[in-house]
Amino acid sequence: MVTSFDFIASYLRARFGDDERGASLVEYALLVALIAVVCIVAVTFLGTSASSKFDKVGQSIGA
């Protein structure tokens, strides 16, 4: 016996189940956001580290 839930579930699967373009778009957007966050953190961390190293080298050359 088919219940109304089974009928609605099978209808929705048939109607929207084959189209995964939206899910792929969301996954790519999340990947791009994660990569952007990692790049920003890396540039922030390495920027201050590199700046202090360049200052140290500049002071040793100038002295």
In this structure, which amino acid lies at residue 50? A
Q: Is residue 15 part of a domain?
A: no
Range of the domain at 41: 21-62
Going residue by residue through the chain (63 aa), what tens digit of pLDDT does each one get?
Answer: 567 777 777 777 777 666 666 667 888 999 999 999 999 998 888 887 888 888 888 888 875
Q: Is residue 9 part of a domain?
A: no
DSSP per-residue string spanning 3-33: -HHHHHHHHHHHHHTT--HHHHHHHHHHHHH
Number of domains in the chain: 1
pTM of the model: 0.49
Per-residue model confidence (pLDDT) at position 2: 61
